[in-house]
Structure 1
Amino acid sequence: MVPVRLTGPRLAIREYHHTDGDVDALHALFGDPEVTRHLPFEPHDRETCADQIELYLEEAMAEQRDTYRLAVTRLADAEDPRDATPIGQASLTLGEHGAADLGCVLGREFQGSGHGREVTALLCDLGFGVLGLHRLTARAEAANAAAATVLTGLGFRPEERARQDRLPDGERSGPDHYVLLADAWPGPADRRPAERRPEGEGG
C-alpha cells in the first residue's frame, strides 16, 4: 500500500489509523445526527465506527485499490498531520472507464469555513492528477444547497436528478448528481483561492 497524504492550505488528508483517537473521531462524526442527516445511513455507534476503520484499512491494502476513505485533519492541530485528530472524512470510489465518485463530510463545528471546498479540491487533485482519472461525479441532496454550492464553485456541473420526489412542504428530496471532467480541472497551480462561504456536510 502506498499511503495517501494530501496537503492543502489549511487541511491534510491521510489514511485512517486503527487507534482509539481515530475511532473516537469517526464516532464523533458519524454518531452525530446533525452530520448524518444528509448521508445515506443512520448515526453509527462507536463499535460500528471501529469496524468501519478496519474495513477502510482492508480496502487500502487491496492489490487493485478502488476505494479511498480517508481522514481529514487540520494542519494547525499537530506538527505532523499524521498525528492530528480527524475532523472529517473524504472519499473517492473508483468505477469503470476512468471515472470515480467523490464525497466529503465534516464535523458540524468545521462547516461553513471553506473546509469542504478545500477537501473537494484535494480529492480532484488526487483523482485527476495522481490517479489519472477522466471523470469525477458527486452527489448532493436536494435539501443540501450548500454542498451544491461547493461543487459548482469548483466547476462541477449538474448532470441529472436521481429522484424527483417532493416532500409535504413542497421541497425536493433525493440527490442531485454533478460531474467534472479532467480537461475542465485547472489543477492545484491554477486553482482559484478558497472562498469563505456556507457549506454543507457532503459533496
Structure 2
Amino acid sequence: MTGLPYDAVELRTERLLLRPLTKNDLDDVHAYQKRKDVVRYLMWEVHDHEESAKHLEKRIAMTELADDGDGLIYAVELPDPAGGHGRVIGDMSIFLKSAAHAQLEVGWVFHPAVHGRGYATEAAEAVLAVCFETMRAHRVFAQLDPRNEASARLCERLGMRQEAHLRQSEIFKGEWGDTVIYGMLDTEYAARAR
C-alpha cells in the first residue's frame, strides 16, 4: 500500500470528532460495552468496568497501521456545543489485513442511544476516506454476523456489497455462527464521487 505507514490523526466531520481513544473515555466506552444488545454480535461478552478498562488499554495502543495485523481505533466523539469534553458515542476500527494486497478491514460499535441519527454513517464515511484516499487501499471490507441487520444496512448505505455469506464458519458464543462479508473496491469508491 502506498499510504503506509499511517498514524492516527483527528478527523472532523460535520457533527463528529474521530480521534484516538484515551483513558478519559473509560466511562463513555463502558456505557456501551456493558450492554447485552451492543455485544450481542461482537466476539466478546458484556464487560464490567474493570474489563472495559483493560479492553480500552489495549485499544489505546492501537494507533498506527504499518504492518499486517496492525489496528487503529478511533473514538467517535459527539462534541460538547459549549466547548467542553464531548461524549464518546462509539468507536471505529481499521485493521491492516494485507499491505501487499492493499486490504483493510473496518468495524464499528455505537451506543444504541444514538442509533438512527446518521452518526455511524458519518463516521464510517470519514474512515472510508482514510482507507481509500490516504491509505490507498485496493479493497476495504467488513465482516459481521448476518443477524446484525443494523451493520448490514450501514454497509449498504456506504455502497459496500455483500461478497460472501459463510455458513457456520465459526463457533460464536457457544454455537455455530454465520459470517457475511461486505466489501468495496477502490474503483467503486472512486465511482461514488462522480
Considering the TM-score relative to the shorter chain, is it more than 0.5? yes
2:181 corresponds to which of 169, 172, 177: 177
Q: Structure 2 matches for 1:134-145, cutoff 5 A?
A: 134-145=138-149
String of CA shifts for 1:107-134, please: whole Å, max 9, x gaps: 0101122112112111101111121211
Find the counterpart in structure 2 of residue 168 from structure 1.
none
Pair 1:5 & 2:10 matched: yes
Pair 1:92 & 2:97 matched: no
Range moving further from structure 2, 101-110 or 50-59: 50-59
In 1, Cα distance between the equivalents of 2:81 and 2:39? 24
In 2, Cα distance between the equivalents of 1:62 and 1:100? 10
Q: Which has the higher strand share?
A: 2
Question: Which 4+ stretches in 1 moved above 6 angstroms?
Answer: none
Shift of 1:177: 0.5
Q: TM-score by structure 2 length?
A: 0.82
Q: Counterpart of 1:182 in structure 2: which amino acid?
A: D
Q: Counterpart of 2:185 in structure 1: which amino acid?
A: L
Distance of aligned partners of 1:185 and 1:51 in 2 relative to their CA distance in 1, 3 Å threshold: same
Q: CA RMSD in A?
A: 2.6
Pair 1:58 & 2:32 matched: no
Check the 8 A contact 2:64/2:71 in 1, yes or no: no
In 2, Cα distance between the equivalents of 1:87 and 1:63? 27
String of CA shifts for 1:55-98, please: whole Å, max 9, x gaps: 12323268758201110011355537xx3221101101111121
String of CA shifts for 1:157-193, please: whole Å, max 9, x gaps: 111112258xxxxxx95221101011111499x49xx
Find the counterpart in structure 2 of residue 25 from structure 1.
28
Find the counterpart in structure 2 of residue 200 from structure 1.
none
Q: Counterpart of 2:163 in structure 1: which amino acid?
A: E
In 1, Cα distance between the equivalents of 2:150 and 2:45? 21
Check the 8 A contact 1:143/1:173 in 2, yes or no: no
Find the counterpart in structure 1 of residue 45 from structure 2.
42
Find the counterpart in structure 1 of residue 165 from structure 2.
161
Identical positions, percent: 27
Q: TM-score by structure 1 length?
A: 0.78
Q: Counterpart of 1:89 in structure 2: which amino acid?
A: D
In 2, Cα distance between the equivalents of 1:37 and 1:66? 25
